Amino acid sequence: MAERIQAIENQAIVQLTEVKNLLELENFRVHYMGKKGLITELLQHLKDLTPEERPVFGKNLNIAKRRIEDMIAEKKTLFENLETEKKIKTDAIDVTLPGRGYARGKLHPITQVMEEVKEIFLRLGFIVESGPDIETDYYNFEALNIPKHHASRDMWSTLYVGEETLLRTHTSPVQIRVMEKKKPPLAVIAPGRVFRRDADPTHSTVFHQIEGFAVDKNITFANLKGVITAFLHAVFGKEKKVRFRPSYFPFTEPSAEVDVEWGDGWLEILGCGMIDPNVFKAVDYDPEVWSGYAFGMGIERIAMLKFGIKDIRLFFENDMRFLKQF
Ligand code: FA5
């Protein structure tokens, strides 16, 4: 019997070297220790032995049983450790990896220029006002000395919303809205979106203007020229060539336009002039008492000059390769 026990133990030792994982180890355990396992089976023989033989047999069997159990436990720990190691390698978070990082948003180049221009006028003492994108015929045209059927309406290819409503073609209606509410002295800028049926490399259907105007006693064209020149120097520097050119607007008299050198030509950036007495009458200001200047500038045009952009439409295509450069 002792030999039989020894044989089973030896067999277990050899067989265990072939066990490759926890599942096989469990099968191994059942083969030896299970209810019908080899060790359990040997116990059945106890009853066939003499009372003298039994203790020795029992003792030997117990020793063998414990040895096999120890081997199984040892192997189990080994497999479990291997499994943990594998898990660490595959699942674990590698804290040494650099963070994933998130893309930081930026202001659109037009917003950047808008903010820069606003800042300049705030420093010059102007306040900011605003008006609606959808305007009435009265504010966009009539109060600005542009009666119905007047030829000068053709200066703006207007997008109409209804009979008397339209998408504002310029920010000048804000002049009227502010002067209706407030009394002079006034120095106001009004940034906003404007809309026209225009589309080519220097004209967009939707674009941005900043309106500016000042009303007080004894305001002259020299004040207008001084403010515009200060603005041009702040945005473009003193070296950039600019020119004031006589022009026409129904709501200013005299009127001028300002161009900035652009390649071997010029790019127009703003219109301006002395507020027409008819505009003052529309808002109940006495033109004998008050005088003022006004201007309206194209923000995209200023951005084109600042950044060297040849086609205005690039600003509205939302191509990240373009936008990321600002
Ligand atoms: C006006 O809109 C006048 N309201 C400006 C003004 C205000 C004059 C106050 C006198 C007193 P004009 O249509 O020229 O004027 O437009 C003004 C500026 O907007 C232009 O000089 C140009 O810089 C810009 N602009 C005009 N049309 C477009 C367009 N389609 N796309 C981009 N910029 C434009």
**Nearest protein CA to atom 12 of ligand 1, as residue:** 271
Show the tokens assigned to 92: 């674990």
Q: Ligand 1: distance of its center to the CA of 211 in Å?
A: 9
Each residue of 26-63: pLDDT tens digit?
999 999 999 998 888 888 888 888 888 888 888 888 89
Please tell me whether 253 is known to bind a ligand.
yes
Q: Over the chain (326 residues), what is each successive 10-residue block's mean pLDDT?
A: 86 92 92 90 84 86 91 93 87 82 90 98 98 98 93 85 96 98 98 95 97 98 98 96 96 98 96 98 98 98 97 95 93
Contact yes or no for 292/178 (Cβ under 8 A): no
Contact yes or no for 294/209 (Cβ under 8 A): no
Which atom of ligand 1 sits closest to the CA of residue 196? 30
Place of tokens 């305007």: 135
| Residues whose beta carbon lies within 6 Å of some atom of ligand 1 | 170, 172, 196, 198, 203-204, 207, 209, 249, 252, 255, 268-273, 294-298, 300-301, 312
Q: Ligand 1: distance of its center to the CA of 78 in Å?
A: 81
Sign for the CA dihedral angle at 227, 229, 235, 238 comes to negative
Residues forming beta bridges with residue 27, ordered by sequence position: none
Domain ranges of the chain: 2-91, 109-323
Q: Ligand 1: distance of its center to the CA of 155 in Å?
A: 10
Q: Ligand 1: distance of its center to the CA of 41 in Å?
A: 104
Radius of gyration of the chain (CA): 45
Predicted confidence at residue 57, as pLDDT, reads 86
H or E element in which residue 109 lies: helix 109-123
109-323 classified as CATH 3.30.930.10: yes
Q: How far is CA 126 from CA 89, 122, 193, 237, in A?
A: 65, 5, 19, 21
Place of tokens 């504002």: 168
Pairing of the two strands 186-195 and 206-216: antiparallel
Contact yes or no for 296/82 (Cβ under 8 A): no
Which atom of ligand 1 sits closest to the CA of residue 169? 2
Residues forming beta bridges with residue 236, ordered by sequence position: none
C-alpha span between 141 and 59 (Å, rounded):
115
Q: Ligand 1: distance of its center to the CA of 298 in Å?
A: 6
H or E element in which residue 265 lies: strand 265-275
Which atom of ligand 1 sits closest to the CA of residue 272? 10
Helical packing angle, 221-236 and 109-123, nearest 10°: 130
C-alpha span between 172 and 138 (Å, rounded):
12
**Nearest protein CA to atom 27 of ligand 1, as residue:** 203
Place of tokens 């978070």: 93
Predicted confidence at residue 84, as pLDDT, reads 87
Contact yes or no for 37/3 (Cβ under 8 A): no
